[in-house]
Structure 1
Amino acid sequence: MKIGRLSRETGVAVRLLRYYESQGLLASERTEGGHRVYAPDAPATVARIRRLLSAGFPTRTIRDLMPCFDGDALQPCVQDHLTGHLADLEARMADLAKARTTVTALIASAPPLSSY
């Protein structure tokens, strides 16, 4: 499958597919004319990449996790890594909640803006 078709099937821009390839997340072969050709399972690979990106993983980590997929599920051997990432996300969420509380209190304690 050529890159344009992969883009249409996945809804991912051609430029982004090229980026995934440059990061070692997606593989292609080249035709004699230099066009990228992707394997039939490329849409599933792109879906996995998008899922991991939406979970907040950086591309360097995704590159390490891609071989650990068994179908759509990750193998149990990466459970510790996933659990650690979840703990990091929860800590960041707690920090953001504290910051939100502080900003809300600052807004509440500020004098109202005078109208002109």
Structure 2
Amino acid sequence: MRIGEVSAKAGVSVRALRYYEEQDLLDANRSSGGQRQYPDSAVARVELIQQLYAAGLPSRTVREVLLCVDSGIVTPVLLERLAAERDRIDRQITDLMSARDRLGDVIATAQKPGPGCTHAP
């Protein structure tokens, strides 16, 4: 599959695919004309890379996760790092839910202001 096909199917830019290749997250063979050729599995791999980045994992950790996916071997160090990342994400979720609840309170108060409160024109 050519780089444009992978880009379109995975919903990422060509630039992102080149970056993933530079970071040793994605492999491509070169045609005789120098064009990148990706295996059909590249789309699923790019989607996984995107999910890991969206979770806030750094490239180094993403690379380690992909090595585990490829080899089927998980190291205790990586498990510990991933557990710490999961805990960090849980804290972020808690903080976001708290912010959402506070925002909901502000909206509710603004929609039905108490005595002495008025809406600005």
| TM-score normalised according to structure 1 size | 0.70
Separation of aligned partners in 2, 1:82 and 1:14: 28
Cα offsets for 1:90-114 (capped at 9, x unmatched): 4566778999xxxxxxxxxxxxxxx
> In structure 2, what is the equivalent of residue 3 of structure 1?
3
Deviation at 1:89, TM superposition (A): 3.4
With 82-91 and 44-53 compared, the bigger mean Cα shift is at 82-91
1:31 is aligned to 2:50: no
Separation of aligned partners in 2, 1:75 and 1:92: 29
Instruction: Name the CA shift for 1:82/1:33 in 2 (closer, same or farther; >3 Å).
Output: same
Please tell me whether Structure 1 or Structure 2 has the larger radius of gyration of its CA atoms.
2
| Equivalent position SS for 2:40 | coil
> In structure 2, what is the equivalent of residue 87 of structure 1?
87
Structure 2: runs of 5 or more not aligned: 100-121
Instruction: Name the CA shift for 1:75/1:84 in 2 (closer, same or farther; >3 Å).
Output: farther
Cα offsets for 1:64-102 (capped at 9, x unmatched): 1101127xxx86644322211122334566778999xxx
Cα offsets for 1:14-72 (capped at 9, x unmatched): 111111111111000111111000112111110110111111101121111101127xx
RMSD in angstroms over aligned alpha carbons?
3.0
Separation of aligned partners in 1, 2:92 and 2:47: 26
Q: Output aligned runs, 1:1-116, within 5 Å.
A: 1-69=1-69, 77=75, 78-91=78-91
> In structure 1, what is the equivalent of residue 113 of structure 2?
none
**Identity score, percent:** 40
How many equivalent pairs are there?
113
Instruction: Name the CA shift for 1:25/1:97 in 2 (closer, same or farther; >3 Å).
Output: same
Instruction: Name the CA shift for 1:32/1:83 in 2 (closer, same or farther; >3 Å).
Output: same
| TM-score normalised according to structure 2 size | 0.67
Structure 1: runs of 5 or more not aligned: 100-116
Q: Are the counterparts in 1 of residues 55 and 89 from structure 2 also a CA contact under 8 Å?
A: no
